[in-house]
Chains A and B, each alone.
Chain A
């Protein structure tokens, strides 16, 4: 990647993608795949599922590239797509509660064995997140993850989730309350 290419702004990259420039799309993926993966992982607490959601999110970006507004903030779009994919996944799992794993995981990545260090780091993190937030319903988990873990503004959370500002605040407050209660319960037991 030459400096001039890597320094292209998101707006330029989206425009180039709209002219079917796959190289531009590669830069966009390289720039944002960590964000998409991190957010998907914080929601799902599963490495493989997070990778799958991340891939699907970028495929969706590519498929809908002609309809995108290049001026709009790309990260917001990505958060929106990942949120939708995670909600879809949660719903389809609820419909088939017996199977724990997504049936549509990309097999290419499974052959790529992650290092033991990565596995244990992600498992540890997943345990920490689940420990406090496993009782949150999807809406509260989504709002909490966007606002408190991804550090987005309320306005952005509203835009991504399509929920009203009032409802975002209520869900956020409820989520925080449950987390604190959970923490108290845990520390109470531990001490």
Chain B
């Protein structure tokens, strides 16, 4: 079995399968190994003789018929897939125009329209309310816009208080908005400096909560 590699090489001789260094190595081995040399001599029989009779070309029984058959099959396939597509589209249309489905679609459209109108009304109303409120308070309150960083911290803190005071998240939001309008810059000084952060936020919250409840 040791010589298997060399026997393999011998069978690859004569074409471009062996690299130069492999050929050189084989030549060296053949010089010293009588067994492999015997195989090599044996195989100097004409390789063309071995495969020569296999390399004839077969005849296609009817080349034109073969071409025609391939093209016919392709046409059939394309027509079929086109028909399938048409059928699918037709079925889709049938489904859409089925009386029951048509009625359903009409009802759904009306419901969606109603929901849209109600929502629009609500939005308009709340915007107006906000405008009036802003107008009222702009004269009496010192307006401060909270920095985002503080607003975030406040929100976290306020959310923790949510259960305690059973405020809805909408109300929490309103508290924050009101805070922006009525808080004094001094209220945030502690927050900015980082001293007693929790306390400051809490006290602000408590104060604002009271303010909020008073009216």
Interface residues of A, Cβ cutoff 8 Å to B: 22, 25-26, 29-30, 33-34, 37-38, 41-42, 47, 50-51, 54-55, 58-59, 62-63, 106, 108-109, 112-115, 117-118, 121-122, 125-126, 128-129, 132-133, 147-149, 153-154, 169-170, 172-174, 176-177, 179-180, 183
Contact = CB atoms under 8 A, between A and B. Distances in A.
Interface string B46-89: 01011101111111111101110111111101000000000000
Q: Is the interface of B mostly helix, strand, loop or mixed?
A: helix
B17 A26 contact: no
Contacts of A41: 58
B17 A34 contact: no
A112 B65 contact: yes
B7 interface: yes
Contacts of A47: 58, 61
Contacts, number: 122
B69 A180 contact: no
Nearest to A62: B74
6 contacts: A29-B67, A38-B57, A112-B61, A122-B58, A169-B12, A169-B17
Binding site secondary structure of chain A: helix
Interface of B: 7-9, 11-12, 16-17, 43, 45, 47, 49-51, 53-63, 65-67, 69-75, 77
A59 B73 contact: yes
A91 to B, nearest CB: 23
A172 B57 CA distance: 21
Given A114-B61, A114-B62, A133-B54, A180 B43 contact: yes
A55 B62 contact: no
A51 B61 contact: yes
Contact of A177 (B11, B45, B62): B11
A173 B12 contact: yes
A183 B49 CA distance: 10
A114 B11 CA distance: 39
A63 B77 CA distance: 9
Given A121-B58, A172-B12, A173-B11, 19 more contacts: A22-B71, A22-B74, A22-B75, A29-B71, A33-B67, A34-B60, A37-B58, A47-B61, A51-B66, A122-B58, A122-B59, A125-B56, A125-B58, A129-B54, A147-B17, A154-B16, A172-B17, A173-B9, A177-B7
A84 B66 CA distance: 20
A134 B51 CA distance: 13
A125 B65 CA distance: 22
B51 A148 contact: yes
B63 A33 contact: yes
A167 B17 CA distance: 12
Contacts of B8: 169-170, 173-174, 177
A13 to B, nearest CB: 14
Nearest to B49: A183
B62 A112 contact: yes
8 shortest interchain CB distances as A-B pairs? A114-B61, A41-B58, A173-B8, A173-B11, A176-B11, A118-B59, A128-B53, A112-B65
Contacts of B63: 33-34
Nearest to B53: A128
A54 B59 CA distance: 13
A51 B60 contact: yes
B50 A132 contact: yes
